[in-house]
Amino acid sequence: MIIERIETFPLLHECSRPYGDANGYKKYRSCYLIRITTKSGYQGYGECIDWLPTLEKGFQERIIPYLIGKRATDRTNLTKIIKKWHMRSAAAVSMALTEIIAQKAGLHITDLWGGKIHDTVPAYASFQSYSDDPNWQEYSIGLVKKAIQEGFSMAKVKIGGRTIKEDQAHIKRMQQELQGDVQLALDANQSYDVMAARSWERLFQGWDNLLWLEEPMPMEKVEEYKLLRQVLSVPLAGGENMKNATAFLPLVTQGAVDILQPDTMHQDGIDGYRCTLQLARTSGLRVSPHAFDGGLSRIYALYAQACLPAMSKMDGDKIEPVEWDYMENPFTMLFQLKPQKGMYTIPSGTGLGLSVDEDVLNTYRWDGRTYI
């Protein structure tokens, strides 16, 4: 199976209204998809994220010339080389070659990985809570209500982008209106120090529907996470930007978090991502993937979760949820797999078991313009 052709699909969408988290507003959503084709006709798709001009230049000038003529079955070696150039590009190549190998074997990707344990996987609706609307709190709560009406029982909302007083008023109002209807995760995007994070505990003690507090502080502050974990009544989660299982080791070995959150597009290939899942399970920790951006990368996270044993016998067959980007993003439906009533159902078939939406590829093709 010799690689014969690689096509790139840089995609860009301008949002109808800006929205964001503690790091600022999103005015655009982007996606970078690749399609690798072998001489024997097998095809596989991969996805990565970065500034589109950087990705396009890197693939056209270096990665594609390197890959042409190589064997698709040399996935591990090829990924190892490419990740030295650009880690996120290696993730895309790894996904595409994984699908090709599964197609050649006549297997679904989950079968290639040993078979799915879970036919369905729960989803939580993920929100970017801030907007330039003066009534941003009302708008944010309205979005969560809409998701609940669609069958979601879990949601993640943002904190850390306003003053603590404003954010706590937002979440208190949300809890007053929705508590009992939804389990809630709070994501601070590493905006706090220990004292600021601890200030939430007086509220946490009165709420029994919290899933976790996500990345309240910079993730390298392992000692501070250990301290915070000892005084908080809710689980601590994080790790979306960590590049491999090794990067998670300090958090794991020092007991700094309760839930690992790797992202398929930020790790060193899909095989490396699955190593992080195994690290979590071997260490007795839960793992709930970060999968806000993109559509294909979320599917790979979903398939890996479907193959992951449940955390403990106390959970029965229950597996931790996978994120669903509820905000304006046409790339969530590049591949037609959407949770229904808060649950993903694993499709059948060979390879990915899904086909790409060519209309999305054509409609949102990046025209080369500058964007920020």
What is the reported pLDDT for 304? 98
Read off the pLDDT of residues 51-84 as tens digits, 9 standing for 90 and up: 999 999 999 999 999 999 999 999 999 999 999 9
Same domain, 43 and 119: no
Residue 369 lies in a domain: no
Same domain, 117 and 265: yes
Chain-centroid distance, C-alpha 200: 25
* CATH code (residue 32): 3.30.390.10
What is the reported pLDDT for 247? 97
Same domain, 17 and 74: yes
Radius of gyration of the chain (CA): 20
In terms of DSSP bridges, do strands 130-131 and 3-21 run parallel, antiparallel, or are they unpaired? antiparallel
What is the reported pLDDT for 314? 64
Mean pLDDT of the chain: 96
Catalytic positions are 158, 290
How many domains, the chain?
2
Same domain, 136 and 58: no
pTM above 0.85, yes or no: yes
Read off the pLDDT of residues 99-137 as tens digits, 9 standing for 90 and up: 999 999 999 999 999 999 999 999 999 999 999 989 999
What is the reported pLDDT for 315? 67
Same domain, 147 and 94: no
Read off the pLDDT of residues 134-188 as tens digits, 9 standing for 90 and up: 999 999 999 999 999 999 999 999 999 999 999 999 999 999 999 889 999 999 9
Same domain, 201 and 61: no
CA angle centred on 339, ends 299 and 8, rounded to 5°: 35
Domain with 242 in it? 111-345
CA–CA dist 164, 202 (Å, integer): 13
* CATH code (residue 172): 3.20.20.120
Read off the pLDDT of residues 315-369 as tens digits, 9 standing for 90 and up: 667 899 999 999 999 999 999 999 999 999 999 999 999 999 999 999 999 999 9
Contact 131, 88 (CB under 8 A): no
